[in-house]
């Protein structure tokens, strides 16, 4: 980030890589020494508001540049995956042709087909086992049940007695 200008002037904070990205900043505000406390608080509030808005704008510009770069990278990965998937057809065809050197052509391609079906079946079985291992979110369910019972209890009792008999929150173990 670079700042340009001289003191007592509005500077521009620039973000490298962001097109037309500049945030106006004031290096040293002009302060009236005889100003009342109220006007000083007002000025401080305005300066704080400007600072917060500038920080938010800076964050937006930086995130936007990063997101654009990430999207471009994702597109290249997607294209590479598509080309790789389509290339598999030629790879398996090549294996069939190589096997056809020693075996009848139909038998060579049948072997390639059977190996591919077995590999797909094995991968599907492994995926099914992993999906079966997914468990319900027990801590979240317990927390929501506790919250619901506390809210039901609070809704049926007066504000003075609602906290006396309410279900006390429990500490859930962390993973």
Range of the domain at 23: 2-64
Q: Is residue 125 part of a domain?
A: no
Q: Is residue 36 part of a domain?
A: yes
Q: Is residue 12 part of a domain?
A: yes
Q: How far apart are CA 32 and CA 47, in angstroms?
A: 15
Whole-Å CA distances, 48 to 22, 45, 69, 106: 18, 5, 32, 78
Average pLDDT over residues 28-46: 75
Q: Is residue 75 part of a domain?
A: no
Give backbone dihedrals phi and psi of 10, rounded to 5 degrees, phi first: -75, 125
Q: Is residue 41 part of a domain?
A: yes
Q: What is the pTM of this model?
A: 0.44
Q: Is residue 86 part of a domain?
A: no
Give me the number of domains the chain comprises: 1
Q: What is the pLDDT of residues 72-126, one digit of tens each?
A: 889 999 999 999 999 999 999 999 999 999 999 999 999 999 999 999 999 999 9
């Amino acid at each position: 980030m670079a700042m340009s200008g001289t003191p007592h002037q509005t500077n521009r904070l620039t973000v490298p890589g962001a097109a037309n990205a500049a945030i106006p900043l004031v290096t040293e505000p002009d302060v009236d020494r005889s100003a009342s406390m109220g006007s000083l608080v007002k000025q401080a509030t305005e300066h704080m508001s400007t600072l917060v808005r500038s920080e938010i704008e800076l964050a937006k510009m930086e995130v936007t540049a990063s997101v654009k770069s990430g999207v471009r990278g994702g597109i290249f990965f997607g294209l590479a995956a598509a080309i790789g998937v389509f290339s598999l057809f030629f790879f398996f065809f090549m294996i069939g042709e190589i096997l056809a050197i020693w075996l009848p052509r139909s038998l060579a391609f049948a072997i390639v087909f059977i190996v591919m079906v077995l590999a797909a079946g094995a991968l599907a079985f492994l995926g099914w086992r992993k999906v079966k291992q997914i468990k319900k979110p027990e801590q979240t369910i317990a927390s929501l049940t506790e919250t619901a019972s506390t809210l039901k209890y609070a809704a049926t009792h007066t504000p003075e007695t609602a906290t006396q008999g309410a279900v006390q929150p429990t500490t859930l173990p962390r993973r």
